[in-house]
Amino acid sequence: MKTGPEGPVRAPSAVPIDDAVLPYEVDALDVRGRLVRLGPALDEILTKHDYPAPVGKLLGEAIVLTTLLGSALKFEGRFILQAQTDGPVSFLVVDYQAPDRLRAYARYDAARLGEAKESGTHAGTHSGALLGHGHLAMTIDQGPDMSRYQGLVALDGGSLEDAAHEYFLRSEQIPTRVRLAVGEEWRSNDGGKHRWRAGGMLMQFLPKAPERARQADLHPGDAPEGVEVHAVAEDDAWVEARSLIETVEDVELIDPELSGERLLYRLFHERGVRVFNPLSLKAQCSCSRDAVASMLKSFSSDDRAAMVKDDKVVVTCEFCSSVYEFTPDEAGVEDA
């Protein structure tokens, strides 16, 4: 295992690192990717809202997916993942601001979520059922003077992993596999408290000869009636790499005692894996009193006046739950 393109060969580190992205590549299989481990940063985001466990798990998966995709940005922009659906979790958004800041929020229907729990089956609370049908938007914001790029993928009851695979097949046309895992770590030595943990892997097949990365243009079920879908033989290297990542278990991705380097070594030691310097992550909202004041100015005078309660305007950030109070004058409310 190497660190950096010219780094010395060394044993994989046994020291786990939380809140970090670990890029890697396996030259022998023409694959590259990133491994994400989230601990305190994820726990801070989720516990600020005290989400029910199924909602916290779903939002955690969205945070991992956003981090896997957003950490590929080579500039200080933003990667935003947003889902709008007809499911119990009707809206979620994750905002990754390169190179290292994360914030996220989910909106859910408590009554519908309770009905799913009362059904007594896991099927009603897995990510696909919580999302239902709708769409997933992935936006790259390069800054105020640059155009935005947005990709959309339909949500039809599948998981976020399914949606990510569909996105890369349809939009990027890069053979890709994603693994996401979220769980709660119970701490018996801390009064029985729990904390959220998550992990994920992204792996892409990027051979030098592009024809080796061919995939079928259509799924059999997508082809118009009477149109035959031609079989496309997948490259042996990609078949092998894909088979290896599919052996990764959820517990391995979130295990606080297993380092990311050792996990990658478990998977690819026979082929040789190179890892690069990890990228650190943190939970940090971009809200501020000045930003909220500017936002208030965007509302009409009537709307601002309607916000006044008990002679003040109170705004709570949906991401981090910070509360900002303004006098009517500070909020730009005109005297009646």
Give per-residue pLDDT as tens, 196-242. 999 999 999 999 887 787 765 445 555 556 556 556 678 999 999 99
Question: Residue 272 in 3-state DSSP?
Answer: coil
Tracing tokens 């701490």 back to the chain, one arrives at 187
CB atoms closer than 10 angstroms to residue 98: 18
List, for residues 19-54, the tens digit of each pLDDT value. Answer: 999 999 999 999 999 999 999 999 999 999 989 999
- pLDDT at site 107: 96
Q: How confident is the model at residue 115 (pLDDT cuts 50, 70, 90)?
A: confident
Q: List Cβ<8 Å contacts ≥24 apart for 117-121.
A: 117/54
Instruction: Tell whether 123 and 143 lie within a shared domain.
Output: yes
Highest mean pLDDT among 64-73, 107-116, 297-306: 64-73
**Mean pLDDT of all residues belonging to the chain:** 87
Q: How confident is the model at residue 119 (pLDDT cuts 50, 70, 90)?
A: low
Amino acid at 207: P
Instruction: Tell whether 174 and 302 lie within a shared domain.
Output: no
* Of 244, 101, 85, 267, the residue nearest 163 (C-alpha): 85
Instruction: Please provide residue 63's backbone torsions phi and psi, each rounded to the nearest 5 degrees.
Output: -65, -45
With 0-12 CB in 10 A as exposed, 13-18 as middle and 19+ as buried, what is 325?
exposed
Asked whether residue 11 is domain-assigned, the answer is no
Asked whether residue 9 is domain-assigned, the answer is no
Percent of the chain exceeding pLDDT 90 equals: 65
Q: How confident is the model at residue 154 (pLDDT cuts 50, 70, 90)?
A: very high
Average pLDDT for residues 114-142, to the nearest whole number? 82
- The token pair at 313 is 């305007």
Instruction: Tell whether 277 and 294 lie within a shared domain.
Output: no
Lowest pLDDT segment from 83-92, 94-103, 226-235: 226-235
Instruction: Tell whether 261 and 308 lie within a shared domain.
Output: no
CA–CA dist 149, 139 (Å, integer) = 6
CA–CA dist 104, 109 (Å, integer) = 17
- pLDDT at site 171: 84
Instruction: Tell whether 87 and 129 lie within a shared domain.
Output: yes
Instruction: Tell whether 158 and 223 lie within a shared domain.
Output: yes
Instruction: Tell whether 41 and 147 lie within a shared domain.
Output: yes
Asked whether residue 134 is domain-assigned, the answer is yes
Average pLDDT for residues 294-312, to the nearest whole number? 90
Asked whether residue 181 is domain-assigned, the answer is yes
Q: Given a cut of 80, is residue 1 above it in pLDDT?
A: no
Asked whether residue 7 is domain-assigned, the answer is no
Q: Given a cut of 50, is residue 108 above it in pLDDT?
A: yes
Asked whether residue 8 is domain-assigned, the answer is no
Instruction: Tell whether 213 and 308 lie within a shared domain.
Output: no
Asked whether residue 143 is domain-assigned, the answer is yes
- The token pair at 322 is 């910070």
Average pLDDT for residues 166-170, to the nearest whole number? 90
- The token pair at 86 is 């007809």
- pLDDT at site 272: 94
- Count of domains forming the chain: 2
CB atoms closer than 10 angstroms to residue 187: 11
Asked whether residue 335 is domain-assigned, the answer is no
Instruction: Tell whether 236 and 299 lie within a shared domain.
Output: no
Q: Given a cut of 60, is residue 164 above it in pLDDT?
A: yes
With 0-12 CB in 10 A as exposed, 13-18 as middle and 19+ as buried, what is 299?
middle
List, for residues 246-269, the tens digit of each pLDDT value. Answer: 999 999 999 999 999 999 999 999
Residue 169 maps to which CATH number? 3.55.30.10
Domain, as residue range, for 217:
19-283
Question: Residue 150 in 3-state DSSP?
Answer: strand
CA–CA dist 40, 192 (Å, integer) = 17
Instruction: Tell whether 33 and 145 lie within a shared domain.
Output: yes
